[in-house]
């Protein structure tokens, strides 16, 4: 099983910009165990609106199919490193 990354206190705009640079599928795992594919804009809206508190993601778990995407999102979570993502 692919390890889950627990996200804390993430800026939504920057997170979505980093997601856009991911090559594989990235899934948000809900408390109920549902997996929402965050490469889909519809799933982004559905999943993230449930998690946003005060403009930031309070807590979330994600799973990446691509190990490079996992490393990218881990660096973003830990160091706020947006890499080559275009942020506004």
Give domain limits for the chain.
5-79
Q: Which pLDDT score is estimated for 1?
A: 53
Q: How far apart are CA 88 and CA 13, in angstroms?
A: 8
Q: Which pLDDT score is estimated for 23?
A: 96
- Any idea which of 5-9, 14-18, 26-30, 62-66 has the lowest mean pLDDT? 5-9
At 40-54, the pLDDT tens digits run 999 999 888 877 766
Q: How far apart are CA 71 and CA 50, in angstroms?
A: 25
- What pTM was computed for the model? 0.85
Classify domain 5-79 at the CATH topology level: 3.30.1340
Mean pLDDT, the chain, whole residue set: 87
Residue 85 near residue 34 (C-beta atoms within 8 A): no
At 20-29, the pLDDT tens digits run 999 999 999 8
């Amino acid at each position: 099983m692919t390890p889950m990354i627990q996200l804390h206190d993430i800026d939504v705009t920057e997170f979505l910009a980093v997601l856009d640079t991911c090559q594989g599928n990235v899934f948000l795992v809900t408390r109920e165990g549902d997996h929402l594919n965050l490469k889909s804009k519809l799933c982004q809206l559905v999943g993230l609106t449930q998690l946003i508190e005060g403009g930031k993601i309070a807590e979330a778990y994600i799973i990446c199919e691509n190990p490079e995407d996992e490393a990218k999102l881990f660096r973003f979570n830990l160091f706020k490193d947006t890499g080559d993502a275009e942020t506004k």
